[in-house]
Amino acid sequence: MPSTSIDNAFTARKTTGAASDPTYAGALSFMRRKFSKDVKGADAVVWGIPFDAAVSNRPGARFGPQAIRRASAIFDNDPQYPFNRDLFEAMSVIDYGDCLLDYGNHQKTPATIEREAAKILKSGAFLLSLGGDHFVTWPLLKAHAAVHGPLALVHFDAHQDTWLDDNKRIDHGSFVARAVRDGIIDPDRSIQIGIRTHAPDDFGIRIIYGYEVEDMRPADIAYAIAERTGGKKTYLTFDIDCLDPAFAPGTGTPVSGGPTPAKILSVLRQLGHVDIVGADVVEVAPAYDHADITAIAGATVAMHFLGLLAEQKARSAALAD
């Protein structure tokens, strides 16, 4: 079907409804959402955090938000699989653009991210953040906990990220340890999925290791997540290296032996009754990618978060009627 408009990210008159840009052209906001700094009335806000100065291996995740937005153009104007709906028919979503960070003064980075996230969350919108390396989840967790109190954490990753530090380091491998130590997350209500490395401490967080994921059905993994979080306000962070490098080569610290996107997306699809109040997708590093494999996976994970939110909104509207 020929496109009826182009550059919806700039020309859209409202923040609901599908775009009709050609897949191969047009301004590359996330899923063609309108670029705006006005969050009033938005159900969800997509925000890029182009930061990768905390990596312990290969840099490049600062280009992750660009890559994920570019890959999201593949989601055309048909109802989105597997939700079988126009996600934006009744859900207002904007692309807030990127966080402005001083590349020469990284010590200011966490406060800058936390402050801007708090500003967005004050509107009541759901915040979907695109990293960036996994350090960015630390200030995001702080901003969300300031609104909701201590959170359950659902953490898809190949790494535990529970290395202790002095609370001053800029390090993508310690945000979980910090969050437990500072009471930002409740370890008894938190779970990690896909772990394929060892750290000195698990802090009592439940771990479903990579080989266990391989042996479990998606429905069983989703059940374990729902049971562990127990109805608590939940933050979901998705490190793209949770997936096997065969399906996500474009990342800084790949670890073999991980699950397929099909399996993990099936898990995400079944989390509709988990009280997810915020989410991120991190560690997409396009310089190591091929044919946008990793970026497409990251964009699809992010789309699933919005799909769950659209279904939740539809359920609420049906109950109100």
Please state which of the ranges 87-91, 224-228, 313-317 shows the lowest mean pLDDT. 313-317
Is 161 among the annotated ligand-binding positions? Answer: yes
Is 166 among the annotated ligand-binding positions? Answer: no
Tokens of 8: 């919806």
Q: How far apart are CA 99 and CA 101, in angstroms?
A: 6
Q: How far apart are CA 78 and CA 212, in angstroms?
A: 35
Confidence of residue 2 (pLDDT cuts 50, 70, 90): low
Confidence of residue 40 (pLDDT cuts 50, 70, 90): very high
User: Which alpha helices (DSSP H) does 203-292 contain, by range?
Assistant: 210-215, 218-229, 261-269
Q: How far apart are CA 169 and CA 106, in angstroms?
A: 10
Domain 8-320, CATH class in plain words: alpha beta
pTM for this predicted structure? 0.96
The model's pLDDT over 161-172, given as tens digits with 9 standing for 90+, comes to 999 888 778 888
Q: Where are the domains of the chain?
A: 8-320
Residue 1 has pLDDT above 70, yes or no: no
Is 155 among the annotated ligand-binding positions? Answer: no
State the average pLDDT for the chain.
95
Secondary element (H or E) of residue 223 = helix 218-229
How many CB atoms lie under 10 A from the CB of residue 37? 10
Q: Residues of the chain with pLDDT > 70: what percent? A: 99
Q: What's the pLDDT at 3?
A: 62
Is 239 among the annotated ligand-binding positions? Answer: yes
Mean pLDDT of 101-105: 93
